[in-house]
C-alpha cells in the first residue's frame, strides 16, 4: 500500500494511539478522516496533521457505540475523500476492577465501543472496498486479546472478540483484495489509564505503536504485536500457527527491560 495520497479513516483519533497514528500517516502524506466524541480535541489533532503534511483532513464527531454514528462517519469519509483505503478501528476504552462490581452501564459501554463499534465501522466500509477490490482494515486489539488480564474481564473479552472477528473476516475476504490485520499493543502511555489509580509500570509510547500501525498498513500481510518479549514468548504456544509470523516482529520490536507483569486491580 502506497501511503502518499491514500485515504485513511481513524476512529478514536482525538488522543493517544489514534492521535499518534493520525500524525504518523500525515507524515507519509495520507489524506485523513478522523472521528471521536471530543470534536475540539479532534480538530486540534487535524491541524497538527495538516502541519505534518496531510494534504486533506476531515473531522467528524463520532460515538462508535452508536451504529448510526459509525455508519455516518464512514459515509462522510467516503463523501469527503471518495474512497477509504485504510480503516483503523482504534476507538476503545477500558475499565479495571472486579467483574461483580462493574456497573451495568460500563459493561454496555465497553461492549458497544470496543466491539459493536468495530463491527459497525467495518460493515460500512467493506462494500466500497470490495467493489474496488482494495482496502486494509486494521483493528487495534490488545495483548489481553490473547492473554486475558485479571480485573479486566470485560475489556479482555471485547479484545478477544475483536481478534476472533478479524481472523474470521480475514478468511471470508480471502482473494478479494481486502486485507484485515490486528495490532496488539501492550501497555502504552496514553489517557487510557487516567481513570485508574493502579500502578502501571513501564509503557510503550503511543508513537511507537503508531509506527507499527502505519507499517501494518503498508505491508498488510500479518498481525503485529507490540509487547515485551517475555509476554510474547510465554504465549507462543497459543499464538503458534495463528499469527506465527508476528513472533519475529515482536522479538524485533521488544524493548529490553520491559517486564510482562499483569496489571493490578484499581483502587476503589
Ligand atoms: N493504552 C494502552 O495501554 C492500550 C493497550 C492495548 C490496547 N489499547 C487500545 O488502543 C486503543 C486506543 O486507546 P489509547 O490507549 O490511545 O487510549 P486513549 O488515549 O484514551 O484514546 C482512546 C480514543 O478512543 C476514543 N473513544 C473512546 N470512546 C469512543 C467512542 N464511543 N466513540 C468514538 N471514539 C471513542 C477517544 O476519543 P473521545 O473520548 O474523544 O471519543 C480517544 O480518542 C483502544 O482500542 C485501546 O483498547 C490501549
CA-nearest residue for atom 36, ligand 1, is: 12
Is the minimum distance from the CB of 260 to ligand 1 under 6 angstroms? no
Is the minimum distance from the CB of 37 to ligand 1 under 6 angstroms? yes
CA-nearest residue for atom 47, ligand 1, is: 92
- Packing angle between helix 117-132 and helix 153-172, nearest 10 degrees? 20
Burial of 137 (0-12, 13-18, 19+ CB in 10 A): buried
Is the minimum distance from the CB of 90 to ligand 1 under 6 angstroms? yes
CA distance 178 to 136: 6
Task: Name the nearest CA neighbour of 29 among 51, 60, 61, 59.
Answer: 51
In a domain, 266, yes or no: no
CA–centroid distance, residue 191 to ligand 1 (Å): 8
Q: pLDDT tens for residues 191-224?
A: 998 876 666 777 889 999 999 999 999 999 888 8
Question: What range does the domain containing 63 cover?
Answer: 7-253
CA–centroid distance, residue 18 to ligand 1 (Å): 7
pLDDT, residue 48, reads: 98
pLDDT, residue 212, reads: 93
In a domain, 263, yes or no: no
In a domain, 261, yes or no: no
CA–centroid distance, residue 16 to ligand 1 (Å): 7
pLDDT, residue 193, reads: 86
Is the minimum distance from the CB of 109 to ligand 1 under 6 angstroms? no
In a domain, 265, yes or no: no
In a domain, 123, yes or no: yes
pLDDT, residue 190, reads: 95
- Reading the block at residue 122, the C-alpha cell is 467495518
Residue 29, beta-bridge partner list: none
pLDDT, residue 240, reads: 40
Non-local CB neighbours of 193 within 8 Å, separated by 6+ positions: 94, 200
- Reading the block at residue 159, the C-alpha cell is 479484545
In a domain, 2, yes or no: no
What total number of domains does the chain contain? 1
pLDDT, residue 141, reads: 97
pLDDT, residue 232, reads: 59
In a domain, 264, yes or no: no
Judged by DSSP in three states, 144 sits in helix
Tell whether pTM > 0.75.
Answer: yes
CA–centroid distance, residue 113 to ligand 1 (Å): 9
CA distance 59 to 238: 39
Beta carbons of 95 and 102 less than 8 angstroms apart: yes
pLDDT, residue 199, reads: 63
* Ligand 1 atom showing the smallest separation from residue 200 Cα: 3
- CATH code, domain with 180: 3.40.50.720
Task: Rounding to the nearest 10 degrees, give the CA dihedral for residues 211, 216, 219, 224.
Answer: 110
Residues annotated as part of the active site: 155
CA-nearest residue for atom 23, ligand 1, is: 12
Task: Name the nearest CA neighbour of 235 among 146, 144, 142.
Answer: 146
DSSP string, 70-127: HHHHHHHHHHHHS--SEEEE-------S-GGGS-HHHHHHHIIIIIIHHHHHHHHHHH
Q: What separation in angstroms does the CA of 75 have from each of 9, 18, 203, 221? A: 11, 20, 36, 27
User: How many residues are present in the chain?
Assistant: 268
Is the minimum distance from the CB of 185 to ligand 1 under 6 angstroms? yes
pLDDT, residue 230, reads: 57
Is the minimum distance from the CB of 36 to ligand 1 under 6 angstroms? yes
Question: Which residues of the chain are under the pLDDT cut of 70?
Answer: 196-199, 228-268
Is the minimum distance from the CB of 65 to ligand 1 under 6 angstroms? yes
Amino acid at each position: 500500500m502506497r501511503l502518499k495520497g491514500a485515504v485513511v479513516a481513524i476512529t478514536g483519533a482525538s488522543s493517544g494511539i489514534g492521535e499518534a497514528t493520525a500524525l504518523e500517516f500525515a507524515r507519509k502524506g495520507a489524506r485523513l478522516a478522523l472521528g471521536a466524541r471530543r470534536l475540539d480535541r479532534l480538530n486540534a489533532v487535524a491541524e497538527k496533521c495538516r502541519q505534518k503534511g496531510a494534504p486533506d483532513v476531515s473531522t467528524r464527531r463520532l460515538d462508535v457505540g452508536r451504529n448510526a454514528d459509525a455508519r455516518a462517519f464512514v459515509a462522510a469519509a467516503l463523501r469527503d475523500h471518495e474512497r477509504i483505503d485504510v480503516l483503523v478501528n482504534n476507538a476503545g476504552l477500558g475499565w479495571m476492577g472486579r467483574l461483580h462490581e462493574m456497573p451495568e452501564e460500563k459493561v454496555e459501554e465497553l461492549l458497544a465501543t470496543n466491539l459493536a463499534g468495530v463491527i459497525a465501522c467495518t460493515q460500512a466500509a467493506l462494500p466500497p472496498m470490495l467493489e474496488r477490490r482494495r482496502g486494509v482494515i486494521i483493528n487495534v486489539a490488545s495483548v489481553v486479546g490473547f492473554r486475558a488480564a485479571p480485573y479486566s474481564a470485560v475489556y479482555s473479552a471485547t479484545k478477544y472478540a475483536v481478534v476472533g472477528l478479524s481472523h474470521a473476516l480475514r478468511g471470508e475476504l480471502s482473494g478479494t483484495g481486502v486485507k484485515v490485520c490486528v495490532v496488539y499493543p501492550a501497555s502504552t502511555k496514553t489517557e487510557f489509564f487516567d481513570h485508574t489509580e493502579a500502578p502501571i509500570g513501564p509503557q510503550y509510547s503511543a508513537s511507537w505503536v503508531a509506527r507499527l500501525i502505519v507499517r501494518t498498513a503498508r505491508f498488510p500481510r500479518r498481525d503485529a504485536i507490540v509487547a515485551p518479549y517475555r509476554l510474547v514468548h510465554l504465549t507462543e504456544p497459543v499464538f503458534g500457527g495463528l499469527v506465527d509470523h508476528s513472533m519475529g516482529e515482536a522479538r524485533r520490536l521488544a524493548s529490553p527491560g520491559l517486564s510482562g507483569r499483569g496489571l493490578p486491580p484499581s483502587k476503589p
